[in-house]
Structure 1
Amino acid sequence: MPFTPTRLYTGEKTESWVVEEKLVLSAFLLRRLTEHTQQLQERSGPLLGLNQGPDAPVLPKEGWLEQQLDPFNASDGRFFLQRYWVNDQYWTGPDGPVFLHLGGEGTLGPGSVMRGHPAALAPAMGALVVGLEHRFYGLSVPAGGLDMGQLRFLSSRHALADMASAHLALSRLFNVSSSSPWICFGGSYAGSLAAWARLKFPHLIFASVASSAPLRAVLDFSEYNQVVSRSLMNAALGGSPECWTAATEAFSEVERRLRAGGAAQAALRAELGTCGPLSRAEDQAELLEALQALVGGAVQYDGQAGAPLSVRQLCGLLVAGGGGRSRSASYGGLRRAAQIVLHSLKQKCLSTSRAETVAQLRDTDPQVSSIGDRQWLYQTCTEFGFYITCAGPACPFSQLPTLPSQLSLCEQVFGLSISSVSQAVEQTNCYYGGQSPRATHVLFVNGDSDPWHVLSVTQSLGSLESALLIPNASHCLDMAPERASDAPSLRLARQKIFQQLQTWLLQVKENQVK
């Protein structure tokens, strides 16, 4: 269906609410770790401590676009303001390339155009760098709240329509030539969007770099913990068979104390820093899910600046120095890991109340959901699934929470049945092609220790659809700011990304000459 182009907004928008500090809901601990890591990486990037001399980098420009709320209905006149960032200090002019950094399920800040792939590659290629925040996240939240009537305009398809109309508006605003190649960048869900932008809009997007992009929607994502399990035994990351065994023992001890009830439960609550009692089965499942996210987060962001724990640090705690290990000692290591994570997130305790989780997710006020939990849950319920479970003897964690208990959130919060969620996942794979999207000029970049790489493209699907799999690299690590401690394999991967883009851009010049 056609969509209506955007209009430029020339006013100024400010954040109209003050976000209260909320307790970390156990069901979204992994999202908090993601946000925490990204924020610290951005603060440690070039935006802070800039030199004030004549050669100092130019601060990025913030702008707003008026986007149609329903881009597939020309008769719907409702609009919302979508934020974008621009870094034009390296741009060679109207014929130069445009690097479009797509936002995902969270706030997109100025770091999107000042660090990572686009900013690092822009000087050599003379590119204009633009960051586009995803609708319904960050400050790009439409007026009217987050009820179901509004959320029906939140999907990856709407986000791609925003990208297309922004392409037109920004081309006019910056006088970008019609022959200028646009290249999309994105990581995680935004990496999928980058690949799909090239797939669905090849006349607008010349090429894409999709980092850690989970292309295949899946209801039961048990493969996530399979990768976590392997990583806990990977010596290159600091893991070992002893670490895997210690993790298993630690979770067994938690479950034993939960079953014991009474004083054992009260001690568990105090030691693990939960905010409420653990007598209800659903609250116990929330705790176990949070502990699994804690370990999974250490693997997912292993070795990255801002991550509270690496695999090596976590295993050091679990194994307790390698001597005198017991189930109780392994549990003690897990308890210390929980304390480190809560301290890093600046939280006094962890909410394990299922009722509190449901109540907060039902709140349609953007002040409550500004961090994006309600919005992202809606997208998982209506498009992607991605519910992490622990199935099979190879998983070192608890069998709780089960898939039905996670799916029940879709019904409790949005009234969506399990069958509708399952159908939505199938439709997403049918629409985009899953792990075989058949999009040309897309480079898929993944780390083999990242649990999400199993849903991405890790082998080249042809001469124009390339893939890089970086040994022992974590989630979106190639997009993180460069550090002196970066592994040679990571440095090599970044060189290959640069070379691939150079090759594609050379093709553009050759075609223009012809």
Structure 2
Amino acid sequence: MGVWPSRWLGLLLLVFLWGSSSPASLLRRLREHIQQFQESSGLGLSLSPEAVALPKEKWLEQPLDPFNASDGRSFLQRYWVNDQYWASQDGPVFLHLGGEGSLGPGSVMRGHPAALAPTWGALVIGLEHRFYGLSIPPGGLDMAQLRFLSSRHALADVVSARLALSRLFNVSSSSPWICFGGSYAGSLAAWARLKFPHLIFASVASSAPLRAVLDFSEYNEVVSRSLSTPAIGGSRECLAATSAAFAEVERRLRAGGAARAALRAELGACGSLDAVEDRAELLGALQALVGGAVQYDGQAGAPLSVRRLCGLLVGAGGNCSRPAPYHGLRRAVQVFTHSLGQRCLSFSRAEAVAQLRVTEPQVFGVGDRQWLYQTCTEFGFYVTCEVPRCPFSQLPALPSHLELCEQVFGLPTSSVAQAVAQTNSYYGGQTPGATQVLFVNGDTDPWHVLSVTGNLGPSETAILIPSGSHCLDMAPEKPSDSPSLHQGRQNISQQLQTWFRLAKESQVRVAV
């Protein structure tokens, strides 16, 4: 069982480079690109003597349906272990949770929590999320299988892994387990402490969107604000240039004929732009490109920062007439697609739907079908641009997102809205009521509006990093990190110190 995923790894990487480029998948590919860049640049993936010895991947057998004891089916879940700093059997365990994508050995070697492990003598474990990366159950990704994919199933895996790995590594029953995670995995980290406080001692939830939402128009509100923020290279001129560039794209789309054909070639659209839905795909991909520059601003491996994007859009002369911003946007597309190895910026809607319907993991790359299923059945998170403050196209995007749930999975719109409401009811949204959880966010990150950015109580605290982007605190440290980021990481370390003091006090009380 443990070797079958390697057979299709090559195809998986091929599809990562040439697969569907719908707006949502573009952001996910950007995240994967940044993650891989940071891991490869920091782990010495070379043949030099100084290269870091990477931990070998390990496999844990997990029940496919943890909520049905009579179902004997199982799957192999991938994980990694870094024990080089583990000082004693009763030392802390840092459990780095994977989210809606593949996890790698960098999860236990670089960034948080690996950077904190030497200070506390911690054992570091990285656990890949079920149905992502190579932790895909035998049988593929059809609807009969996907019903075992949810945040609740993922939390059950955390519990099972916590118990099994404690036995496997002879971890002391007094060792505090701390969950770490970023983005959706950050939400899982918080929810693991919320639902299983007897097993998870505390959690650090970075850029965690705790509130599920159907229409995520707030995303582009933060993007607009960030594009005009001088501290990260934005300006009012940049925001105006962004609007001008998108207005020019729409003008050329409406013109049709030669103007539309030139636009297709210049902005990297695969296939014709004659259909309304295909034009919407292109506009959505352009929005994702700009949103991605904001979401991952300043991170190593990101092809575009806000400063660089604004430099392209505004130009040296600050000209916001139609041609200059459009040509800047065109150049930004070239930088983006080249960096990610994308053949095209956008594909046709029909092609995107066809790829999302594929159920064989051998030909489906970074988890697009799986994550779409989770958004349709739990979270929503559909980024729209229908408010006047949005600098992009004013297309009615929400119906298009919901239509995708029906086209790919046969799920009606009403069921998606109901699923979002149920998720918030089950986990508590932005007031989960957990204890010993630290929420970490950056105010540049569009996702921080769905997280917790202020203290909810003495044991439910928050850090908001000025000019911080998505999961920036989890990235490997570099000399150019801002003072506010340094301070944020220091605050995380101080919170860990407080938690470990509580753990020792609790052990003393038990002993007495």
Q: TM-score range by the shorter chain?
A: over 0.9
Describe the SS at the equivalent of 1:350.
Answer: coil
- Does residue 266 of structure 2 align to residue 282 of structure 1? no
- Does residue 85 of structure 2 align to residue 96 of structure 1? no
- Quote the Cα distance in structure 2 between the aligned partners of 1:377 and 1:239: 32
Determine if contact 1:100/1:129 at 8 Å carries over to the other structure.
yes
Determine if contact 1:57/1:89 at 8 Å carries over to the other structure.
no
- Quote the Cα distance in structure 1 between the aligned partners of 2:262 and 2:61: 53
- Quote the Cα distance in structure 1 between the aligned partners of 2:433 and 2:48: 45
- Quote the Cα distance in structure 2 between the aligned partners of 1:463 and 1:38: 33
Pick from 37, 43, 47 the counterpart of residue 46 of structure 1: 43
Return the letter of the residue paired with 2:34. T
Determine if contact 1:146/1:366 at 8 Å carries over to the other structure.
yes
Describe the SS at the equivalent of 2:6.
Answer: coil
Structure 2 matches for 1:213-292, cutoff 5 A?
Answer: 213-292=208-287
Return the letter of the residue paired with 2:6. E
Shift in CA distance, 291/351, structure 1 to aligned 2, threshold 3 Å: closer
Determine if contact 2:333/2:345 at 8 Å carries over to the other structure.
no
Give the TM-score, by structure 2 length.
0.96
- Quote the Cα distance in structure 1 between the aligned partners of 2:320 and 2:437: 48
Determine if contact 1:446/1:453 at 8 Å carries over to the other structure.
yes
Pick from 7, 14, 30 the counterpart of residue 16 of structure 1: 7
What corresponds to 1:471 in structure 2? 466
What corresponds to 2:432 in structure 1? 437
Determine if contact 2:385/2:393 at 8 Å carries over to the other structure.
yes
Describe the SS at the equivalent of 1:92.
Answer: coil
Deviations 1:38-65 (A, max 9, x none): 1111111235369847xx8653232101
How many angstroms does 1:159 deviate by?
0.2
Describe the SS at the equivalent of 2:198.
Answer: coil
Determine if contact 2:183/2:471 at 8 Å carries over to the other structure.
yes
Give the TM-score, by structure 1 length.
0.96
Structure 2 matches for 1:366-445, cutoff 5 A?
Answer: 366-400=361-395, 402-445=397-440
Runs of 5+ consecutive residues of structure 2 not aligned to the other structure? none
State the identity %: 76
What corresponds to 1:34 in structure 2? 31
Pick from 168, 177, 180 the counterpart of residue 175 of structure 2: 180
Describe the SS at the equivalent of 2:393.
Answer: coil
**What RMSD over aligned residues (CA atoms) do the two structures have, in Å?**
1.4
How many angstroms does 1:37 deviate by?
1.0
| Of 269-278 and 301-310, the range deviating more from structure 2 | 269-278
Return the letter of the residue paired with 1:103. G
Return the letter of the residue paired with 2:45. L
What corresponds to 2:487 in structure 1? 492
- Quote the Cα distance in structure 1 between the aligned partners of 2:68 and 2:206: 32
Determine if contact 2:405/2:411 at 8 Å carries over to the other structure.
yes
- Quote the Cα distance in structure 1 between the aligned partners of 2:187 and 2:209: 6
Pick from 365, 370, 385 the counterpart of residue 360 of structure 2: 365
Determine if contact 2:29/2:366 at 8 Å carries over to the other structure.
no
Deviations 1:285-312 (A, max 9, x none): 0000000000000000000000000000
What corresponds to 1:328 in structure 2? 323
How many angstroms does 1:320 deviate by?
1.4
Deviations 1:405-454 (A, max 9, x none): 11100000000000000000000000000000010000000000000000
Structure 2 matches for 1:182-201, cutoff 5 A?
Answer: 182-201=177-196
- Does residue 62 of structure 2 align to residue 62 of structure 1? no
- Quote the Cα distance in structure 1 between the aligned partners of 2:66 and 2:44: 34
What corresponds to 2:117 in structure 1? 122
- Quote the Cα distance in structure 1 between the aligned partners of 2:317 and 2:380: 39
- Quote the Cα distance in structure 1 between the aligned partners of 2:48 and 2:109: 14
- Quote the Cα distance in structure 2 between the aligned partners of 1:455 and 1:49: 40
Runs of 5+ consecutive residues of structure 1 not aligned to the other structure? 1-8
- Quote the Cα distance in structure 1 between the aligned partners of 2:454 and 2:90: 33
Describe the SS at the equivalent of 1:340.
Answer: helix
Deviations 1:136-193 (A, max 9, x none): 0000000101000000000000000000001111000000111110000000000000
How many angstroms does 1:368 deviate by?
2.4
How many angstroms does 1:313 deviate by?
0.3
- Quote the Cα distance in structure 1 between the aligned partners of 2:203 and 2:460: 10
- Quote the Cα distance in structure 2 between the aligned partners of 1:464 and 1:58: 38
- Quote the Cα distance in structure 2 between the aligned partners of 1:217 and 1:152: 19
Aligned length: 503
What corresponds to 1:170 in structure 2? 165
Determine if contact 1:65/1:166 at 8 Å carries over to the other structure.
yes
How many angstroms does 1:116 deviate by?
1.3
- Quote the Cα distance in structure 2 between the aligned partners of 1:125 and 1:58: 22
How many angstroms does 1:232 deviate by?
0.5
